[in-house]
Amino acid sequence: SSSSPLLLPGQLGSLTAAATPAEGYLGTALRRFNTRLFGAPWCEKCKQQKQMLYRMLGPVHWRDHYSDCGAATCCLGCTGVKQVPLWKVNGVRYPGRFDDTQLAAIVGAQGPNQRGGRRA
């Protein structure tokens, strides 16, 4: 049996690279900081985080930033991940579920309509 693509309810066939300009901007920042999300298929919070990652990074880039600990042999033990979901941003680990505002604070992203400096 072949691997099936990520299916997002209500978005099949009409999914764009980012649901909003702010999510697209945050997605760019997440790529710049080499962000990785560790999750597992049995974890509901992980599924929600994976859908958000897909919206922010789009269908081309999201897989490069997601590690499925349910499919990888000894992912949790070998990588030192003790719980899922876990975000790794610029080498720093952030356990738990985050919304887009919290992720923006972690990477220092200022949206296109916000004033203030950006982290280089």
- Put simply, whether the predicted model's pTM sits higher than 0.85 gets the answer no
Residue 103 tokens, joined: 């992720």
Q: Name 92's bridge partners.
A: 89
d(CA 10, CA 27): 21
d(CA 14, CA 92): 34
pLDDT digits (tens, 9 = 90+) for 15-55: 444 578 888 889 999 999 999 999 988 899 999 999 999 99
* DSSP tally for the chain: helices H, then strands E: 4, 4
Domains of the chain are: 21-107 (3.40.30.10)
